[in-house]
Amino acid sequence: MTQSEAKQKITELVEKYEQIKKSGGIKKYSEAETCKEFILPLFNALGWDTSSKQEVSAEEHTNAKDRADYGFYLNGWPKFYLEAKKLSADIHDERFAKQAIAYSWNKGIAWAALTDFESLKIFNSQDVAEHLSHKLVFEIRYDQFLDRFDQLSLLSKEAFTKNLLDEYGEKHGKKLQRVSVTDTLYKDLNESRLLLLKSFRAWNKEVPADLLEEGVQKLLDRLIFIRVAEDRQLEQPTLIPMLRASGGSATEKFYQSLVAKFRELDKIYNSNLFALHPLEGWQEYDGATEKVIEILHGKTGYYEYNFQAIPADVLGSVYENYLGYQLAQSEKGIEVSKNARKRKEQGIYYTPTYIVDYIVTNALKPVLDKCETVADLKAIKVLDPACGSGSFLIRAVEMIYNKYLEFGANPGEMTKITILLDNIYGVDLDEQAVEIARLNLLINALDSQMRLPDLSKNIKNGNSLISGTDAELEKVFGRNYRDKKPFNWQQEFPQVFERENPGFDVIIGNPPYIRVQALDKDDAEYFKGVYESAKSNYDIYILFIEKGIDTLRSDGRLGMILPNKFMQAEYGEIIRKILTENQFVNKIVDFGDFQVFGDATTYTALLFLSKNRTSLVEFVDADSGFKKLGGTAGLKQMKSHKISAASLTSKAWSMGTGEGQDLLQKISSGLQTLEDLAEKIYVGLQTNADPIYILELVKEKEDHYIVRSKLNGQEYQLEKAVLHPLLRGKEIKRYSTPFYKFLIVLPYMISPESADLIPVKDFKEKYPRTWQYLLGNKKALEDRENGKMKHGRWYGYVYPKNLSKFQSSKIMTQVLASKASFTFDDAGKYYFVGGGNAGGYGVTLPADSKVEYHYLLGLLNSSLLDWYVQQISSKFRGGFYSYAKRFIERLPISVPSEQEQKNISDLVKKLLSLNLETVNVPENSNEWHSLKSEIEKTDNQIDQLVYELYELTPDEISLIESHK
């Protein structure tokens, strides 16, 4: 519908309303008639398909408390909720606004709309302000709909695809997401946990700390379950009436009556949730339980918890973060504090809902589509091997349930309980996570007063990666091997592995990300002996892929979110070999530098595998369109192409666009790589004591330097002969002569072929000042690598690699850069740091090389080879790419005639000279702009010569130029 058509339709609605108003017929219209004849047609004019339940869905009215009338959805994602009132309603009654705001808030959605057609109000439900007027974003009367159409159209479907209401809210100070239901519930749960822990510890000092924490979690689980049952009207209001009946007195009697209620509920639901637990015999006198019940009703300001409306993913998010907190004993008593180490060591990252939905849909749907009967559906086995709060499994339950309904199953008979017992399996190392996953799954399945299942046979506590016989495990882990929580899959899930085609049909999830260095020594030793992929500097998510393949049935499928590093990193070589030799890879979604996990800097991809061999691999790239839209809408807009599965090998994977992939293959064909032609591609210095060896240059004298230590702020006068200019990665710049700020103490005698530690006697005699400086730091230098340097060579580097190369002619590059930043050190003057992404790499050529240094520098900085690197490299936040050895060594190098090389070499020398000139010219002066213009012109001339060398077509050149 065009804008003019929309305005015409709205004009007709306004005229119709005015006629009814004049005739006095407004009071005759019910809410349903108002919606049908005015409100829904208004939103239809704004581009919403009001006849489609996928776009405009009537919210369930099973509970009159805090409900809205309609939810407006884009790609399955709620954008706002609408509270509709009849024409004669007093739209300014604050109760209506509070109702609309509370429902949206409980749903975790910012925008709430309220209308009776005569007036339309938009609120930000998440604004922290208490006064209603501050939550109001704007109000439009019916007779202003056309005059303020630009504002009205912020509620159009098109506007939500572009996030225009968000932009409007931010511009006018109305997008203040500071009191979301997720944050509030998270805070309240932690407060409740602390209250209960302190209370029960005070009155039950004999209870062990681990049992105390388990009991408190069990009590909270029970209270939340009751709140959900109350709000779904499966139970009469229970907790508040009990509280009021006690007269508000904090007595043991109230706690005993609560325990009695648990016994009643156990008879009704028959779930492990209400099974007898030691917590029921604990003493509680100070009213902590009563306070927690008040907290879980959340009556503050406009907000009251409605557990019917709170989505499963909100509870999941709250619980995943909650798991990062743990009980701690301090001088002040019991505290619940954020254990960042626990979160990091266990690799816990809560997966956003749209990612969960995408993974489960892409992994499970193909399996469901093959089901022809209910028996087929009943036989499906779905696993999350690191299930956390159960968000992936909840989504799987929903999909399987909907498939049952497609087969004509009666919703009353076909309960989600059946699915939990037949189809769903989960494992987690964290006992609390297992309890929470069981609770979340039960809450999701709860739709009547029915007996709930004991999920202890489906959702289990254990280590998904460790299994074996008692003798095998004791050999590696010792007598306490059971502390590792070994998990023998065939024994734990016999119903999965004792069938004709054993294994899981679908494995989904977000496994933990933990580098091998952070693993327990025994764990690392075990993994090394059991997993083929446990090689080099690996991360355990690699092992989850291997274990996933092992536990899938012969035609099973896997979908996981993982760091994308395994596609290029050296440690990913073995898992790439396993996946490609068997052609298991079905689809990859690479998010590049987009941060899926928000506050965690983790570069991720979605990996989909099929145990059936696949001939084509679909590759989806998170382009700018995804980054702008985000969520489900962004995922649907991403571009994809397919490549031959046979083209992927154990070597690093590069998956450019279809056109780009063809060009990558073309310019690689028949050419030697930089690795073939270079004498050495080497990393910068790694001293393991940079604050001691690296010193800030203060002043240069004839025979010594005045330097400053960042370690203690002191200045020293040290001999020049053992100090050398040092560059950090960012100081290595494209076609530039570096200016250095730091020096490195180099206690070695360097020759073209070797680097030998200067003997102590010679050091003392020739460089006494530097020797005394090092002697003053002897203890710190000896203690490196857990005392590894406690010997006579204590003043040397732990890993003195490539030292002889630095004083040779070399090309240098920083590791992390937004574009190619290679430069030339002809005199071998500079050293540079190494390690991680903050350092640099050097490239030297053999003496008899047919490639000239300046020519090679021109190729490496060319737009063509820079594009090549960016196709195969790791991408980092902010548009940065890695120029590490494993990427640049793969660059295809054309070796033409001497004259063709000279044509490029001369231009490179000119660029080096021009860049040096700019240093002494005032920035933004006429001369500076003239030099910059000449630099750009010369750079472009090099690009054109490189295009000719590699025989690019005009279309291929356009592709490269579009990426500049």
Among residues 277, 310, 343, the one where a domain terminates is 310
* pLDDT of 928 above 90: yes
- How far is Cα 310 from Cα 278, in angstroms, rounded to an integer? 31
* pLDDT of 563 above 50: yes
CATH of the domain at 529: 3.40.50.150
Segment 7-35, tens digit of pLDDT: 999 999 999 999 999 999 999 999 999 99
Six token digits for residue 457: 């046979």
Six token digits for residue 47: 């581009």
* Nearest residue to 339 (alpha-carbon basis) of 351, 322, 357, 356: 322
Phi and psi at residue 42, to the nearest 5° = -65, -45
Q: Are 99 and 303 in contact (CB under 8 A)?
A: no
Handedness of CA 365, 369, 370, 375 (dihedral sign): positive
Residue 690 and residue 648 share a domain: no
Does residue 597 or residue 558 have the better pLDDT? 558
Six token digits for residue 845: 């050529």
Q: Work out the average pLDDT over 227-244.
A: 82
| 660 band by pLDDT with thresholds 50, 70 and 90 | confident
Segment 754-805, tens digit of pLDDT: 899 999 999 999 999 999 999 999 999 999 988 899 999 999 999 888 898 9
* Nearest residue to 577 (alpha-carbon basis) of 592, 566, 565: 566
Q: Collapse the DSSP code of 662 into the 3-class scheme (helix H, G, I; strand E, B; otherwise coil) and give the result.
A: helix
Segment 512-553, tens digit of pLDDT: 998 888 888 999 999 999 999 999 889 999 999 999 999 999
pLDDT at 330: 46
- How far is Cα 697 from Cα 620, in angstroms, rounded to an integer? 49
* pLDDT of 59 above 80: no
- How far is Cα 596 from Cα 561, in angstroms, rounded to an integer? 10
pLDDT at 340: 42
Segment 791-824, tens digit of pLDDT: 999 999 998 888 989 999 999 999 999 999 999 9
Six token digits for residue 89: 């309603």
| 453 band by pLDDT with thresholds 50, 70 and 90 | confident
- How far is Cα 272 from Cα 278, in angstroms, rounded to an integer? 14
Count Cβ atoms within 10 A of the Cβ of residue 408 and give its class: 0-12 exposed, 13-18 middle, 19 or more buried: exposed
pLDDT at 631: 66
Please report whether residue 349 resides in a domain: no
Residue 153 and residue 191 share a domain: no
Residue 191 and residue 146 share a domain: no
**Largest distance between two CA atoms of the chain:** 111
Residue 301 and residue 155 share a domain: no
- The per-residue pLDDT of the chain, averaged, comes to 88
* Nearest residue to 540 (alpha-carbon basis) of 531, 529, 550, 549: 531
Q: Work out the average pLDDT over 171-192.
A: 74
* pLDDT of 835 above 90: no
* pLDDT of 186 above 70: yes
How many CA atoms lie within 13 Å of 793's alpha carbon, on the beta-carbon side? 10
Given the structure tokens 């009654």, which residue do they identify?
Answer: 93
Residue 770 and residue 732 share a domain: yes
Residue 686 and residue 574 share a domain: no
| 736 band by pLDDT with thresholds 50, 70 and 90 | very high
| 54 band by pLDDT with thresholds 50, 70 and 90 | confident
Please report whether residue 306 resides in a domain: yes
| 347 band by pLDDT with thresholds 50, 70 and 90 | low
- How far is Cα 390 from Cα 360, in angstroms, rounded to an integer? 12
Six token digits for residue 486: 């070994």
* pLDDT of 161 above 90: no
* Nearest residue to 493 (alpha-carbon basis) of 421, 405, 394, 403: 421
CATH of the domain at 134: 3.90.1570
pLDDT at 409: 80
pLDDT at 786: 84
Total domains present in the chain: 4
Among residues 153, 171, 189, the one where a domain terminates is 171
Does residue 323 or residue 930 have the better pLDDT? 930
pLDDT at 677: 95
Please report whether residue 669 resides in a domain: no
Q: Work out the average pLDDT over 848-868.
A: 96
* pLDDT of 278 above 80: yes
* pLDDT of 430 above 70: yes
| 63 band by pLDDT with thresholds 50, 70 and 90 | very low
* Nearest residue to 16 (alpha-carbon basis) of 196, 8, 318: 8
pLDDT at 679: 95
Does residue 340 or residue 734 have the better pLDDT? 734
Alpha-helix runs per DSSP H in 108-180:
132-135, 149-152, 157-161, 164-171
Q: Flag the least confident range among 204-213, 406-415, 435-444.
A: 406-415
Q: Are 356 and 501 in contact (CB under 8 A)?
A: no
**How far is residue 669 from each of residues 266, 661, 666, 673, 948, measured CA to CA in Å?**
70, 12, 5, 10, 16
pLDDT at 326: 53
Element (DSSP H or E) covering residue 799: none
pLDDT at 836: 67
Q: Work out the average pLDDT over 921-936.
A: 94
Segment 379-397, tens digit of pLDDT: 999 999 999 889 999 999 9
Please report whether residue 921 resides in a domain: yes
Share of the chain above pLDDT 70, in %: 90
pLDDT at 341: 40
Among residues 251, 281, 310, the one where a domain terminates is 310
Please report whether residue 723 resides in a domain: yes
Residue 939 and residue 917 share a domain: yes
Please report whether residue 698 resides in a domain: yes
Q: Are 518 and 567 in contact (CB under 8 A)?
A: no
Residue 753 and residue 646 share a domain: no
* pLDDT of 922 above 50: yes
Please report whether residue 52 resides in a domain: yes
Q: By residue range, what is the domain housing residue 530?
A: 356-655
- How far is Cα 835 from Cα 77, in angstroms, rounded to an integer? 43
Q: Collapse the DSSP code of 27 into the 3-class scheme (helix H, G, I; strand E, B; otherwise coil) and give the result.
A: helix
Count Cβ atoms within 10 A of the Cβ of residue 90 and give its class: 0-12 exposed, 13-18 middle, 19 or more buried: exposed
Residue 704 and residue 590 share a domain: no
b (16+ CB within 10 A) / e for 22-35: eeeebeebebeebb
Please report whether residue 316 resides in a domain: no
| 344 band by pLDDT with thresholds 50, 70 and 90 | very low
Residue 189 and residue 131 share a domain: no
Q: Measure the CA angle with vertex 953, ends 950 and 954; round to 5°.
A: 130
* Nearest residue to 753 (alpha-carbon basis) of 819, 816, 802: 802
Other beta carbons less than 10 A from residue 678's beta carbon: 22
Residue 851 and residue 702 share a domain: yes
Residue 642 and residue 547 share a domain: yes
Q: Work out the average pLDDT over 736-746.
A: 93
Segment 480-518, tens digit of pLDDT: 999 999 999 999 999 999 999 999 999 999 999 988 888
| 363 band by pLDDT with thresholds 50, 70 and 90 | very high
